[in-house]
Structure 1
């Protein structure tokens, strides 16, 4: 397979596509050597990275199997999850917001999106594009996936209360926000994201490999939120909660793996995030940079 040449992004980082020598027919997107996305072109329903599989399980459970959904993806990567939704829920309507136009062109050349798919790609910063999305999208999204990274870090401005407040109006009744957060020792970034989501949503859960949640190694934590609170940060003093009417399928999400897995909800999540405060634009920081060996591919 002949792949396009690497491209330089506006951040100065380099993006490239490479073949996965272990999974025939699969490609991997690297940004400055950091694996960002993996896509199986022969079977887009197969998800490779652990955290992406967890997000895939959320998508599996938001509606009856095979039923089309409306999805908004903040962060495009190699369009792994939009391809997954199209493969498992044909006819779904999807929007992708991706900052890096050169990245979009690279991925589309190496791995074109299915022609039949209703996937629209909008280029630009997530916060700026959210503010000008069509009015008809408000109240229509079954799921919003937040998976925004610049290299190996989530930028500060897409981690705050003000950012998530821009997302809430787009959720359909019962709609779910899924966030990929990466952190290490002590999980300060993840704990701050839990506090932030809990200020805005009545149901919040965190799922990851147990050693990651214990802060013993760097890794990805998938956060799931649903059920809007009253607008503003006034929910900051409220306990983390899980409304069973909103996320009654959480036990099935945990059972779906990958294993080992642990889920924090209710009191456990409250204890985990104790002392963390909702992140605002004034206090937001980038997520931590993982140690180099975390992405060592040998």
Structure 2
């Protein structure tokens, strides 16, 4: 299905693919992150030490977050792994990247793209890869996340967008895989998602170094969407009981419910 570019009526554009809103882009204000979970990505990024960051994105769509990284950390070298070349060409045509960017888009899938990256080549890996609204199964396994850890520099950070039903069955298994690879974990989601009121996005974090929990707590408290941070034993209790996904025993993320569009704040 071809990408659709829909004017949001607020100066931005929603990129639609497979009937689902994939990205929101405001060319005049790349710091504007109107999708809740992308806002969570941004607030986590903003807690990291100042300066440029080497960022690898697994999944590109409208290149919203690479634009944000360029806006917030000018000159940061970025690699985007996006296999849909037609989508990338359409986005570049309809929503041009800013001048002076260092964003390179590679036409490869996430699994093989990460495998080809050098050891310790990224400060941050952002996992936000979906097809028809579902995360590919091979991006949920212990083996894949181990490869992500290889690509991250010491103390580097994985930020992953993991969607699930209120049952959290997929998230439990995804978290079990993450927890077996990264000693430090945390997650941010809307309050109503944590309360199991609806299908939703969880920004799940993994690192080999201690996370700056006070800074993350303050950042989440300032979020324009009512959100909360879960960490440590609390997070482990919430997501206990999952059997870690491994190659040969994995699945796509749940199919998202029908929706007419993305809510704007």
Name the TM tier (shorter chain).
Answer: over 0.9
Checking the alignment, whether the CA contact within 8 Å between 1:161 and 1:278 is kept in structure 2 is yes
Q: What's 2:90 paired with?
A: 106
Q: What's 1:85 paired with?
A: 69
Q: Over residues 171-230 of structure 1, what are the superposed CA-to-partner deviations in whole Å (9 max), with x where a residue is unaligned?
A: 122210000011112111112111111000011111111221232211111101101xxx
Q: Over residues 55-79 of structure 1, what are the superposed CA-to-partner deviations in whole Å (9 max), with x where a residue is unaligned?
A: 0011111122xx2111000000100
Q: What's 2:206 paired with?
A: 225
1:204 correspondence with 2:170: no
Unaligned runs of 5+ in 1: 1-12, 228-242
Q: CA deviation at 1:294?
A: 6.8
Once the two structures are superposed, the pairs formed by residues 253-272 of structure 1 within 5 Å of their partners are 253-272=219-238
* TM-score computed with the length of structure 1 as normaliser: 0.84
* TM-score computed with the length of structure 2 as normaliser: 0.94
Q: What's 2:138 paired with?
A: 157
Q: CA deviation at 1:261?
A: 1.3
Question: What SS does the aligned partner of 1:282 have?
Answer: coil
- Distance (whole Å) between structure 2 residues aligned to residue 168 and residue 296 of structure 1: 32
Structure 1 moving runs of 4+ over 6 Å: none
Q: What's 2:99 paired with?
A: 115
- The structure with the larger Rg is 1
Among 25, 31, 49, which residue is 1:63 paired with?
49
1:188 correspondence with 2:169: yes
Question: What SS does the aligned partner of 1:14 have?
Answer: coil
Among 233, 241, 246, which residue is 1:275 paired with?
241
Aligned residues: 262
Q: What's 1:292 paired with?
A: 258
1:28 correspondence with 2:14: yes
Structure 1 residues 73 and 194: CA distance shift in structure 2, 3 A: same
Higher relative contact order (CA 8 A, sep 6+): 2
Q: CA deviation at 1:253?
A: 3.4
Q: CA deviation at 1:252?
A: 2.6
Structure 1 residues 101 and 130: CA distance shift in structure 2, 3 A: same
Checking the alignment, whether the CA contact within 8 Å between 1:183 and 1:218 is kept in structure 2 is yes
- Distance (whole Å) between structure 1 residues aligned to residue 262 and residue 153 of structure 2: 40
Q: Over residues 58-102 of structure 1, what are the superposed CA-to-partner deviations in whole Å (9 max), with x where a residue is unaligned?
A: 1111122xx211100000010001100111111111000001011
Q: CA deviation at 1:18?
A: 1.8
- Distance (whole Å) between structure 1 residues aligned to residue 67 and residue 222 of structure 2: 20
Q: What's 1:97 paired with?
A: 81
Among 1, 4, 7, which residue is 1:19 paired with?
7
- Distance (whole Å) between structure 1 residues aligned to residue 110 and residue 232 of structure 2: 30
